[in-house]
Structure 1
Amino acid sequence: MQALLDAIATMRMPLDAQRIFHGRGGLYPGCEQWTLDAYPPVWVLTSFQPVSDEELAVLHEALSARWQALSPDTPLNWVFQYRHEVQADTRLMAGSVPDPQVVTENGASFRVHLLRGQNHGLFLDMAEGRRWVREHVAARPGIKVLNLFAYTCAFSVVALQAGARHVTNMDMSGGALGIGKQNHHLNGGSAGASFWPHDIFSSWGKINRSGPYDLIIADPPTYQKGSFIAEKDYARLMRRLPDLLMPGGHAMLCLNSPKLGPDFLQDLMQTEAPALSFVERLPNPPVYADVQPERALKVLLYKAPD
């Protein structure tokens, strides 16, 4: 646990939501179970293994000492989450959590919910993907975007901020899209955005009629029964891309599975949509460095022929 304690002792005052410590990457032996995230003004400490009350007390003292140095006139707010299998036990350990809570990233605002569920409303590891979308759209104002598995529509928010003409957000979860609508209103409104609470694989006709698109973003779950199973369903998605993309359009394909490396996506694309050319794999935020990069989040860019 020492590497985590060292990270706490040296961390700076966070302004944007961000990861502070990533033991899951294997760079800190003995700390593989731990992550620490900042969702200002709240810290979220997560363990993927059981933790004793004594360990939590040590971590509380470390967080308290550092917070006293960073912001002595404000209370420490922190949450502990223990994740096991598909469950998450979450506890407020000190202070309070704003309700509603809004955090920022690179000039955009997002609703988050830290005390319920495994996912908090904003995937911090996708920060570089959102940065790329912002820069890509800013260089091509007026483009049309399809955001598949949109969740809370963070990609849509940054695309519209950067000058997209329209973004279609599709996700089976109406609740997630509801938060997505709130995110748009936090950032100037939802003009130019559509929200479709549909199963993608039952909605190709509607998707086609709204296309073609200059940019398609696909950030599906790796395994979610009834929604998407990467080994089975990514091929079904890929073979649709050539007909949905404008000439010269781009596709961003995401995969967050430690068991499936980038070759899984690249081999499938070569089989299912060989006309699309590989551009690059986007880097992850440096804090997410992994001793085995193929295990980490994969964000691959492809381009349709001109």
Structure 2
Amino acid sequence: MQALLDAIANLPIPTDAQRVFHGRGGMHPGCEQWTLDAFPPVWVLTSFQPATDAELAAIDAALKARWAELNPGVPLNWVYQYRFEARAETRLMAGSVPEPHVVSENGARFAVHLLRGLNHGFFLDMAEGRRWVRAQMAARPRQKVLNLFAYTCSFSVVALLGGARQVTNMDMADGALAIGKRNHLLNGINGGAGFLPHDIFASWGKITRGGPYDLVVLDPPSYQKGSFVAEKDYARLMRRLPDLLAPGGHALLCLNSPKLGVAFLQDQMQTLAPGLQFVERLPNPPAFVDVSADRALKVLVYKAPD
């Protein structure tokens, strides 16, 4: 655990939401269970194995000592989450969590919820994907975007901030889309976005009629019982891409599964959508460095023929 304590001792004052320690990447032997994130003004410590009271006490002391150096007299706010399988136990360890709680990334604002649920409403590892989407929209404004598995619609927000003409957000979780609508309002976006709380696999007619699209974003869960299993369901998305994309349009394929490498996506794309050209794999944020590129988040860009 020493690498985590050393990282805490050198923490900066965060402004944007970001990861500051990524033990899961395997770069810090003995710390594989730990991650530490900043959701200003709150720190979130996550463990993927049970933590002892002594470990939590040591981390608490380290956080308090560093925070007293950075912000004398300002209360420390931190949350601990223990993740196991598809569940999580979360508890407030010190201070408080704002309600509502809004964080920023590159000037965009997003609502988060740290004390309920497995996820917090905003995935920090997708920062480069959001940067790429915003840059693509700025380079050629007025594009039409399809955002599948939209969750809380961060891709939609940055696309519209970048200059997109229209974004269609689709996700089965109506509650997540409700947060997505709020995220648009937080950024002064009052139009241009549609929100469809539908099962994607039962809605291809509606999706196709809304096209073609200049950009299709695919960011599904790697495993969600009853709705999506990457090994068998990702192919069902890939084979639709040629009919959804406008000439010269792009597809952004995302996969966050340590069990499935880059070849899983590239081999199937070669078979199911051979007309689409592989452009690049986007880098992950530096904080998410991993001993295995195949195990880390994969974000691939493909392009339809002109």
* 1:117 Cα deviation after fit: 1.0
What SS is found at the alignment partner of 1:295?
coil
Aligned to 1:146: 146
Are 1:182 and 2:186 an aligned pair? no
2:233 & 2:271 partners in 1: Cα distance?
14
List per-residue Cα deviations over 1:195-245 (Å, max 9, x = no partner): 000000000000011100000000000011222110111111000000100
Aligned to 1:122: 122
* 1:190 Cα deviation after fit: 3.4
Are 1:19 and 2:57 an aligned pair? no
TM-score with structure 2 setting the length: 0.99
List per-residue Cα deviations over 1:218-274 (Å, max 9, x = no partner): 000001122211011111100000010000000000000000000000001001100
1:301 & 1:276 partners in 2: Cα distance?
10
TM-score with structure 1 setting the length: 0.99
* 1:47 Cα deviation after fit: 0.4
1:284 & 1:294 partners in 2: Cα distance?
12
1:133 & 1:36 partners in 2: Cα distance?
26
1:72 & 1:114 partners in 2: Cα distance?
24
Are 1:293 and 2:290 an aligned pair? no
2:19 & 2:266 partners in 1: Cα distance?
28
Q: How does 1:5-154 map to 2 (within 5 A)?
A: 5-154=5-154
The share of aligned pairs that are identical, in percent, is 75
Contact kept? 1:181, 1:190, Cα under 8 Å = no
Range with bigger deviation, 185-194 or 174-183: 185-194
What runs of 5+ residues in structure 1 fail to find an aligned partner? Answer: none
What SS is found at the alignment partner of 2:14?
coil
Are 1:224 and 2:224 an aligned pair? yes
1:260 & 1:189 partners in 2: Cα distance?
36
* 1:85 Cα deviation after fit: 1.1
List per-residue Cα deviations over 1:102-138 (Å, max 9, x = no partner): 0000000000000011110000000000000011110
Contact kept? 1:167, 1:192, Cα under 8 Å = yes
2:207 & 2:83 partners in 1: Cα distance?
36
1:43 & 1:216 partners in 2: Cα distance?
33
What SS is found at the alignment partner of 2:184?
helix
What runs of 5+ residues in structure 2 fail to find an aligned partner? Answer: none
- Alignment RMSD (CA, Å): 0.6
Letter in 2 for 1:174: D
2:226 & 2:274 partners in 1: Cα distance?
28
Letter in 1 for 2:78: W
* 1:87 Cα deviation after fit: 1.3
What SS is found at the alignment partner of 2:57?
helix
Once superposed, which parts of structure 1, at least 4 consecutive aligned residues long, lie more than 2 Å away? none
